[in-house]
Amino acid sequence: MKKRDVAKLEEHLGYKFKDRSQLERALSHSSTVASPRLQVDQTYQRHEFLGDRVLAVTIADMLLKAFPKADEGELARRFNGLVRNETCAEVAREIGLGPYIRLGEGEAQAGGRKKEAILGDVCEAIIGAIYIDGGFEKARDIVKHYWERRMLDWTGPLRDAKTTLQEWVQGNKLPPPTYRLVERTGPDHEPEFTLNVEVPTLKSAQGKGPSKRIAEQDAARTMLIREGQWSADVK
């Protein structure tokens, strides 16, 4: 990256790196290296792993302080809404990370800088890079800056779609939902899962996502919307 580009991104982040190689690595997708063995040392994967944990503990602490009367279930649902990949991707777009992400030619031509999964991963990797470069407090500061408003303004359901579907079918004296994998597509670093949720006497519903968990939630949400139990405006 050119120095002026790095400086501009640091300005957006509100943090100046002592070791800018940490930032460059956090922006490097696996498609930029030819050998899988090099991915560990030259791409954002390990930074993302670390950033995910820093984000999680920071959000958990913020929630405990902001909602002192909330029970564990409510805290968990708020937490899941704030740390999910879609929220991280939203933050990445707010920061303007897309143009700075380093991609292989094929991934770049496929629109990788706009892909939700990549944006979310890079956002977490940036948090990890700041933690390595400046310590926990600096990483916590950027999480608080970009997530505090989202935490206070969050309007998602206090129950996730799978739990809501489970309770709804039980209330209607139906057997519990079952989830069945239909297919898995995409490369190992960016898979997409398609699953069906099935409830006896009801038409099955399908969901997709970058993990089985997300695809299950999407399938449950689709069924609930169809049955008039969930608003299509609520993610």
Q: 16: closest CA among 145, 142, 124?
A: 142
Residues in the chain: 235
Q: d(Cα 197, Cα 205) in Å, to the nearest integer?
A: 5
Q: Is 116 annotated as a binding residue?
A: no
Q: Name the one residue in this structure whose structure tokens are 């982040």.
A: 13
- 198 flagged as catalytic: no
Give me the DSSP letters along 34-67: SSHHHHHHHSSHHHHHHHHHHHHHHHHHHHHHH-
Cα–Cα distances (Å) from 14 to 67, 141, 142, 163, 216, in that order, read 27, 9, 8, 39, 37
124 is catalytic: yes
Q: Does 11 show up as a binding residue in the annotation?
A: no
Angle, alpha carbons 216-218-220 (nearest 5°) = 70
> Looking at 52, 107, 133, 218, which residue is catalytic?
52
Query: Which of these is catalytic: 107, 124, 190, 216?
Result: 124
Residue 214 tokens, joined: 């997300």
Phi, psi of 75 (to 5 degrees): -60, -40
- Residues 151, 149: Cα–Cα separation, whole Å: 5
121 marked as part of a ligand binding site: yes
Residue ranges at the known binding site: 48, 121, 124
Residue ranges at the known binding site for Mg(2+): 48, 121, 124
Q: Hey, which residues are catalytic here? A: 52, 124
